Amino acid sequence: MLPQRSNLLLQNAYVLSLDPHVPEGVADILIRDGSIEAIGPRLDIPDSVEVIDASGGLVLPGFVDTHWHLWNSLLRGAVGDSPGRDYFSVKRGLAPHLRTDDFYWSARFALAEAVQNGITTVHNWDHNVRGAEDVDANIQAQLDSGLRGRFSYGPRDSSAADEPMDFAGLDAARTRWTAERLDDRIHFGVALRGPYRTSTELSDFEWRWARERDMPITMHCDRCMREPGCQSCGLTRLDREGLLGPDVQIVHAVHASADDIAAVARTGTSISVSPLSEMRTMGFPLVTEFLESGALTSLSIDTLAMPANADTLATLRALVSVEHARTGRATLTPRIALEMATIRAARDLGIEHITGSLRPGKRADLIVIDKNHTSMLPSGDPVESLIYNGMSSAIQTVIGDGRILLQDGKLVQPSARHAIQSADERRDDLVRRARAAGTWGDQTTLT
């Protein structure tokens, strides 16, 4: 069950708004009916509002993740370095055996980890849609978590290049899940394969279908993972065919050429980078080049199945260091890095008017960080301290759409705690079913 929305007055916090309309500094924040009503010093205390002394707290917008395969989170621990345990082998072996409750609890597990790390918005990038029940389980999991986000409907895992997506199923899901039923927290997108993974004709048809419905499009730029010697993501081709634009998000563009980058910037296409998974299996994310081109660039977790987790602060710290070492340029500053996980990410998902910064009128998606935590001391510039030194264990409170989801560093929802406690059992049961079906061999042990 979701916690009730709380009417709150956070007093004497250091507000890191990331919004040009709200100055940074010590202030109070009034939250009512899930919305930020006022931000300013010494606000009056209205009736029926709980007052929280946030002295010593750093308050900032909740993190926004722009690309996360929630459905395969239970594959964590099955993926490893021994033969047959690479990510793609495990995904292909286990994906057909997920049941409806696996989709639900896999997503809840990931979203619980998201809350623990201050993430309040998640783009659920589902590239294993197997039917209406799976879609409903994913969306219900996101609603039950209390978080905000996008659900991008994609193809079944490992579907053939000439197999169209189930667009009838997507139309039905959009009819079934009204805005009211979605609590105005979730919106739909579509995850397309693109012209390098399907025929030109099918790709054109899928793009046309999405655009006729004004649906935001996302696509993996993974051409070079399948074509040896590839020197370009091939985004110039998408540009020539009219497939790029402000309604398109490209993920994993680690092999983008200078012409690809220029096409992205010129067309207003956005870029989502997943530093940990990309550096593990693909290459270095070209964050500096995309930023310098003016392309909208945001941060994502990608998957918990890979050697990664939802620790946004650690991911940003690694990314800043890698970019400085890779390019010798300081284009990616701590503030820009933080924006990539907040307001720039919200802009990528088209919800910057709702979340991504702290401003009266926006929804109350925010986190409170203990400025007296070891990792934040001795104190300096709050943004630099957060990105260079801050740890997720310093996150005291997470509020999603006005609901307290993490309090005193602990998950509030019993169902979120259950998702964590049952993860091993559910993963092991999934592995047993795959082995019984012969799609994942006994030689691939988990220990």
pLDDT string in tens for the chain (447-residue length): 899 999 999 999 999 999 999 999 999 999 999 999 999 999 999 999 999 999 999 999 999 999 999 999 999 999 988 888 888 899 889 989 999 999 999 999 999 999 999 999 999 999 999 899 999 999 999 999 999 999 999 998 888 989 999 999 999 999 999 999 999 999 999 999 999 999 989 999 999 999 999 999 999 998 877 777 788 889 999 999 999 999 999 999 999 999 999 999 999 999 999 999 999 989 999 999 999 999 999 999 999 998 789 999 999 999 999 999 999 999 999 999 999 999 999 999 999 999 999 999 999 999 999 999 999 999 999 999 999 999 999 999 999 999 999 999 999 999 999 999 999 999 999 999 999 988 876 545 554
Domains of the chain in sequence order: 8-61+356-412 (2.30.40.10), 63-348 (3.20.20.140)
Rounded CA gap, 5 and 404, in Å?
7
What's the CA angle centered on 354, arms 47 and 399, to 5 degrees? 55
* Whole-number Cα distances in Å, 82 to 278, 368, 440: 19, 40, 14
Beta-carbon contacts of 72 under 8 Å, excluding residues fewer than 6 positions away, are: 91, 94, 95, 106, 128, 303, 304, 305
Rounded CA gap, 90 and 359, in Å?
44
Phi/psi at 25 (5° precision): 145, -175
Rounded CA gap, 198 and 202, in Å?
6
Beta carbons of 404 and 394 less than 8 angstroms apart? no
Rounded CA gap, 317 and 355, in Å?
23
Rounded CA gap, 333 and 231, in Å?
28
Q: Model's pTM, two decimal places? A: 0.96
Q: What number of CA atoms fall less than 13 Å from residue 359's CA on the CB side?
A: 14
Helix (H, G, I), strand (E, B) or coil at 136: helix
Beta carbons of 281 and 306 less than 8 angstroms apart? yes
Beta carbons of 153 and 173 less than 8 angstroms apart? yes
**CA-based radius of gyration for the chain:** 21
